[in-house]
């Protein structure tokens, strides 16, 4: 190829890229929801979210906004559509209410309540994720004809961890609070604790995963400067990653902005004549990372004990000062909720994740006994329910959060364990 033809080819390619870039900037809604959620985190992704889903990050309120204590309360009118696979099992579009909690104006209701009540704190497995408020386990817990017979306010917030539970509880617990329920999701509460304690969490995770580029410092700085500019300013660069060529993208541009997807955490649920594919979007793969991390430790039980004890101790002191009964509610992940009926695509995940779950429950039971909490392990109740009901699910197959059936089992499991 002579130089003239080569120049024409390069010019044509650049022109085509420019056309694509302009088109994406004008019409970002042409991208599917699935592609948008796969975009690397950054300026372009935020801009597309704001324009397509009508999300304005600057309108996010904060319950607490201090270093290491930032708890976002998302605004209403967010139009996030659930995956079509989840819609088949009763999921709804995700909606955040004005107060950031499941129920509208729940903040005012708690602070002004003169009646005895219960408070549930937790992450998205306590929050009404992909469901309406009345389908969540705290709502069911306080609105059934049962031993509690009090309103239970759902203060679960997606993406939060045990230290944040303490600060949420500290803001809303009052003299009328009779019960405190801590929704503990086995998958990522360890991650949330480590992130809270260690501001270099992401950096350390990369070291552990051996993702550090060993080139010279100067070259690294130059490369990071170039890649940061490309990622923050060009839609087409972000789209390249989202369409599924992450490994090529990583080699060309020198970074992987979504390293949690490196591990395959997809699996199938098989029971009688039914088979359902789970975690089809391959999310929360850091759960495998932490299971591996703990498995490689010589004294993993003490490691978990040290990490779990202090936030729970802080909650116990708060509850004690208000004379409330505290229940630590252990909520299993989808891959443990279906027991032996789960088949991982990566076979070696099976035992590691079972061992991780077993160790967590053992550690949390020990801490609960020391702090005078009632430890409610819902795992076996959920496994039993799924074994007997293969036609329905306790977890959604795509977002792997609790369905209404799952929330219902959690609430009944708690009631069965109440003193």
CATH number for the domain spanning 82: value is: 3.40.50.1110
User: Which residue matches tokens 């080139």?
Assistant: 215
> Residue 143's pLDDT is what?
62
- Give the pLDDT confidence score for residue 257 in this predicted structure: 44
Position 224 in a domain: no
Into how many domains does the chain fold?
2
Q: Does some domain include residue 4?
A: yes
**Domain span holding position 21:** 1-29
What is the pLDDT at residue 157? 87
Q: In terms of domains, do 14 and 86 share one?
A: no
Task: Give the least confident one: 196-200, 232-236, 262-266, 360-364.
Answer: 196-200
Q: What is the pLDDT of residues 43-74, one digit of tens each?
A: 787 788 777 766 554 455 677 766 666 776 66
Residue 238 inside a domain? The answer is no
Looking at the fold, whether 61 and 145 belong to one and the same domain comes out as yes
Helix/strand/coil for 102: coil
Q: pLDDT at position 213, please? A: 39
Are 392 and 312 within one domain? yes
Q: Do 147 and 71 lie in a common domain?
A: yes
Please, what is the average pLDDT of the chain? 80
Is residue 258 very low, low, confident or very high in pLDDT (cuts 50, 70, 90)? very low
| φ and ψ at residue 153, rounded to 5 degrees | -85, 130
Residues 318-342 have pLDDT tens digits of: 999 999 999 999 999 999 999 999 9
Phi and psi at residue 217, to the nearest 5°: -60, -40
Instruction: Give the integer Cα–Cα distance in Å for 415 and 105.
Output: 27
DSSP state letter for 212: -
Question: What is the per-residue pLDDT for 20?
Answer: 87
Lowest mean pLDDT among 78-87, 186-195, 213-222: 213-222
Residue 375 φ/ψ region, left for φ over 0, alpha for ψ in the -120 to 50 degree band, beta for the rest: beta
In a domain, 110, yes or no: yes
Q: Does 272 fall in a domain?
A: yes
Q: Is residue 290 part of a domain?
A: yes
Task: Assess whether pLDDT exceeds 50 at residue 299.
Answer: yes
pLDDT at 200 exceeding the cut of 70:
no
Tokens 């006994």 belong to 369
Mean pLDDT of 26-30: 86
Same domain, 76 and 21: no
Q: Are residues 298 and 158 in the same domain?
A: yes
Shared domain check, 149 and 16? no
Q: Write out pLDDT tens, residues 146-198.
A: 555 578 899 998 888 999 999 999 988 988 898 999 999 998 888 888 888 76
The stretch 396-409 carries a mean pLDDT of 95
Number of helical (H) and strand (E) elements in the chain, helices listed first: 18, 10
My answer on whether 356 and 395 are in the same domain is yes
Cβ-proximal residues to 221 (8 Å cutoff; 6+ apart), any chain: none
Please, which residues have CB within 8 angstroms of residue 117's CB and are 6 or more apart in sequence?
Answer: 110, 142, 150, 151, 152, 153, 176, 177, 178, 179
Whether residue 313 sits in one domain with residue 191: yes
pLDDT at 6 over 90: no
pLDDT bin (cut points 50, 70, 90) of residue 357 is very high
Q: Which of 299, 266, 127, 284 is nearest to 192 (CA)?
A: 284
Rounded Cα distance, 239 and 25, in Å:
12
Asked if residue 205 belongs to a domain, the reply is no
Position 169 scores a pLDDT of 92
Mean pLDDT lowest among 99-108, 172-181, 283-292 = 99-108
Give the tokens for residue 284: 């929360």
Give yes or no: residues 24 and 150 share one domain: no
Does 52 fall in a domain? no
pLDDT tier, 79 (very low <50, low <70, confident <90, very high otherwise): low
pTM over cut 0.85: no
């Amino acid at each position: 190829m002579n130089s003239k033809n080569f120049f024409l080819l390069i010019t044509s390619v650049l022109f085509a890229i420019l056309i694509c870039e302009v088109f994406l900037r004008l019409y970002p809604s042409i991208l599917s929801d699935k592609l948008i959620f796969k975009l690397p985190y950054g300026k372009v992704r935020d801009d597309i979210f704001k324009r397509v889903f009508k999300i304005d990050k600057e309108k996010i309120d904060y319950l607490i906004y201090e270093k290491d204590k930032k708890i976002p309360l998302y605004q209403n009118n967010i139009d996030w559509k659930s995956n079509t696979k989840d819609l088949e099992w009763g999921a709804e579009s995700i909606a955040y209410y004005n107060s950031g909690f499941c129920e509208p104006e729940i903040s005012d209701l708690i602070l002004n309540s003169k009646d005895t009540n219960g408070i549930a704190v937790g992450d998205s497995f306590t929050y009404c994720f992909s469901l309406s408020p009345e389908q969540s386990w705290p709502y069911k817990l306080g609105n059934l004809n049962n031993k509690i017979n009090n309103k239970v306010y759902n203060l679960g917030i997606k993406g939060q961890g045990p230290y944040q539970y303490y600060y949420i509880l500290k803001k809303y617990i009052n003299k009328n609070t009779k019960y405190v329920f801590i929704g503990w999701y086995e998958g990522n509460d360890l991650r949330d604790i480590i992130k809270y304690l260690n501001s270099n969490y992401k950096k350390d995770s990369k070291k552990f995963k051996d993702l550090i580029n060993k080139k010279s410092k100067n070259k690294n700085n130059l490369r990071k400067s170039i890649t940061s500019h490309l990622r923050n300013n060009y839609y087409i660069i972000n789209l390249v990653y989202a369409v599924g060529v992450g490994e090529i993208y990583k080699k060309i541009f020198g970074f992987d902005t979504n390293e949690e997807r490196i591990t395959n955490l997809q699996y199938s649920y098989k029971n009688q004549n039914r088979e359902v594919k789970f975690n089809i979007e391959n999310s929360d793969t850091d759960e495998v990372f932490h299971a591996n991390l703990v498995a490689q430790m010589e004294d993993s039980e003490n490691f978990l004990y040290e990490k779990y004890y202090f936030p729970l101790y802080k909650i116990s002191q708060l509850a004690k000062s208000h004379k409330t009964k505290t229940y630590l509610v252990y909520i299993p992940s989808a891959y443990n909720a279906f027991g032996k009926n789960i088949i991982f695509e990566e076979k070696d995940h099976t035992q590691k994740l079972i061992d991780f779950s077993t160790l967590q429950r053992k550690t949390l039971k020990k801490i609960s006994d020391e702090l005078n909490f009632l430890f409610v392990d819902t795992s076996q109740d959920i496994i039993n329910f799924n074994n007997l009901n293969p036609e329905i699910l306790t977890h959604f197959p795509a977002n792997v959060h609790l369905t209404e059936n799952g929330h219902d089992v959690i609430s009944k499991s708690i009631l069965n364990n109440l003193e």
